[in-house]
Amino acid sequence: MIVSLIGYRGCGKSSVGPLLADMLGCDCVDSDDRIESAAGKSIARIFEEDGEPAFRQLETSVLDQLLKQTSGVIASGGGAILAEINRTNMKSAGPVVWLHASAEALASRIGGDQTSTARRPSLTGKSIQEEVADVLNARSPLYEECATIQVETEGRLPIDIAVEIFQQIRQATEPGDRR
């Protein structure tokens, strides 16, 4: 079983993923790390030198490879759900977990994370707060459509989020009636 974690940048996919993978007895892969490895450069440089369409094509290729594994947790990029093929493939591979928080909380997390701002380019050229609100508003229907499990992350520890996801997956995959 593959568990795909989706959600806007800063929602906790990279923090929750390894914890959940440990509980499930499998590996966690951050798709952004794999994309950078495949390209030999940072996501920011891919956007700058090759453009967003080239990045999205590479993202789809990397996700396709990761989703063909027999088991694992994938911390996907925030925009992975933009391609319909990615949404379809994630849902076919196993549970898709949308980690979500308010735009304000996400902007605060992103603004406080130097590696996030250096590694990932602005998508709109607006302030972090405006960009998060605008992009999250546009993507939320796609996250919701793709998700089989939704988990609120605001004000919660990664371990508590991982435990909740683990319990929901276990409930959904246990055979028999529990009444």
pLDDT in tens, 58-100: 999 999 999 999 999 999 999 999 999 999 999 999 999 999 9
Structure confidence at residue 55 (pLDDT): 96
- Quick one: pLDDT band at residue 179, thresholds 50, 70, 90? very low
- Which fold is adopted by the domain 2-162? Rossmann fold (3.40.50)
Structure confidence at residue 78 (pLDDT): 94
5 C-beta neighbours (distance < 10 Å), count: 29
Structure confidence at residue 113 (pLDDT): 64
